[in-house]
Amino acid sequence: MYLKTLGFILSVFLFVTVSSTEINCEREDIGAQCEYPELFSSIPNTIEEYNVACPKFKNYAKCLKELDDKCLSEKGLAYFATEEMYESVYGVASDMCEEDTLIYEVITENLRCLNETFENSPCYDEIEAITNEFKIYLPNATDENDYDLPAEIYCLQEAISSVCYTNDIDKNCGTLAADMAKEFVRRSYLLSFSCDNTDAKVLLADVGRYKLKSHQQDYLVEVLGEIINRYDDE
């Protein structure tokens, strides 16, 4: 359950450590050329493990940008919609790995707490309860996870995930850790990878349709507004 819930939030990313000469723009699974960071599937238990895993996040971001520049931007399929988005993602990845930054200090001091929070969080079940009715099961599905979600519901899922886990971090690890989680969500453009302008507008227009608690709905309205403003400013 732990890996499933953590991946639930972070699976929207795709980053790799390949040299320029190794990138193949003709590959159908072009994003697979980037090595998926271990940090996205499990939180290290020790500072030593964290220091080894963290730089792979930066390399992942650099690799995706290289894929954009060499293969994807001219097709309108870039991972990073703007240079600002890339710089923000790479910046937060760098800060997470630098020992003299506050975000590094807070993360490494709370590794045990963060692990326990994700492992024991009820967020996955809460999110399932909200999105379950919108699942579209694939033909001949043999597994409960063989389904798709409408784009706007995937957007909803990721937005509610972020507020739910951040609240859990606040309760278990303290306000400073929760603030760092919010900073990561903001600077990583996490929700922008899940929600485009159209998805955000569809959700915002009918936000009362979903079975949300008041604080979830307030947060959703706030972040959807931010996403729409970002797109409108481009």
Averaged over 19-48, what is the pLDDT? 79
Tell me the percentage of the chain whose pLDDT exceeds 90: 38
In angstroms, the CA 186 to CA 114 distance is 19
pLDDT digits (tens, 9 = 90+) for 125-153: 999 999 999 888 888 777 777 788 888 89
Helix (H, G, I), strand (E, B) or coil at 137: strand
Average pLDDT, the chain: 84
Greater confidence (216 vs 144) lies with 216
pLDDT digits (tens, 9 = 90+) for 88-117: 999 999 999 999 999 999 999 999 999 999
Per the listing, tokens 């929760």 go with 178
Tokens of 162: 């972020």
pTM of the full structure: 0.79
Helices 111-120 and 2-10: crossing angle in degrees, nearest 10, is 100
In angstroms, the CA 234 to CA 223 distance is 17
Burial 192-203 (b: 16+ CB within 10 A, else e): bbbbbbebbbbb
Averaged over 14-42, what is the pLDDT? 69
